[in-house]
Amino acid sequence: MITTDADSLARHLREDLKIAPDDLVFLFTGVWGLGKLKNGLGDITDAFRRVLPEGLLLIPTFSYSWGKNEVFDPKTTPCPDMGVYPNTVFQEPDFIRTNNPNFSAAALRTEKNAALIADLFNVDDTCFGEHSVFGNVVRYSRKRRAWILLLGGAFKDCLFRCTFIHYAQMKVGVPHRYEKKFHDPAGSSRVVPQLVRFLSREEYVVVRDREPDLPLPAEEDFAPFAAELLARGALIRKPFAFYESRMCSVNDCVDVFEEKLKADPYYCLKR
């Protein structure tokens, strides 16, 4: 059994992935690929504390609550679909979470990143719009280094994918998705718009007022996207424990996907 601790993980982040002390990292985790964590999940947090003393760690805490007609509390609502690490640490006192009931994110607070968190978490109620946490991170990435990191076997169904793809799809527009409004199950006037897939022909006809030109629900295959990132030298792959880490800059991820979508609106759809 491979054992991972904060020291070995920090070395991997610094030496293999070349993450700098003031970088921003949006982290998707699969704990199984890290082997046995010597001191538990805290080893992951401790490693990023050491590697990013002047930067920021963001983690997805998506709960999809309003999509399931459930109330959402950023302090207590779990996010089990994101894996054991986010679902455990989001309640720790050093993490702060956004208030989006479907696609929230949490940030690891340090002595030096309070202003950055306040800026990035100054969001509207859209899930993937220009003033969502994803849009804010993309704008930040135009001036500073920001990474999307798949660690420990996250998204092992393909070489590379991430939620920032939905930001690009929202910006460019895609034939198989539309922006749906989710209303507060508790009855307030708050509405959260989210890019969602068309699930049926009937839904498409109601929203678009025409017949669809593709089978629904459409299935996505992101293998061409990973291949494109590799061809451009934009995807970093480094072995660690039981599963390689895959990392791409936010800029490259969003820009490449937008470019390919503009050339082909059906990009990464199974034909």
As a whole number, mean pLDDT of residues 7-24 equals 98
**pLDDT value, residue 84:** 97
Domain residue limits at 8? 3-161+223-250
In a domain, 185, yes or no: no
195 pLDDT higher than 90? yes
pLDDT at 135 over 90: yes
Exposed, middle or buried: residue 246 (CB in 10 Å: 0-12, 13-18, 19+)? buried
Q: Judge whether 16 lies within some domain.
A: yes
Mean pLDDT of the chain: 97
pLDDT at 271: 73
Give the pLDDT of residue 1. 80
Number of domains making up the chain:
1
Q: For residue 246, is it within any domain?
A: yes
Domain assignment present for residue 170? The answer is no
- For residue 267, being part of any structural domain is answered with no
Residue 36 resides in a domain: yes
pLDDT attached to residue 185: 97
- Beta bridge mates, 178: 196
Does residue 172 fall inside a structural domain?
A: no
Q: Is residue 20 part of a domain?
A: yes
**pLDDT of 80 above 80:** yes
- Asked if pLDDT for residue 71 goes beyond 80, the answer is yes
Q: State pLDDT tens for residues 212-268.
A: 999 999 999 999 999 999 999 999 999 999 999 999 999 999 999 999 999 999 999
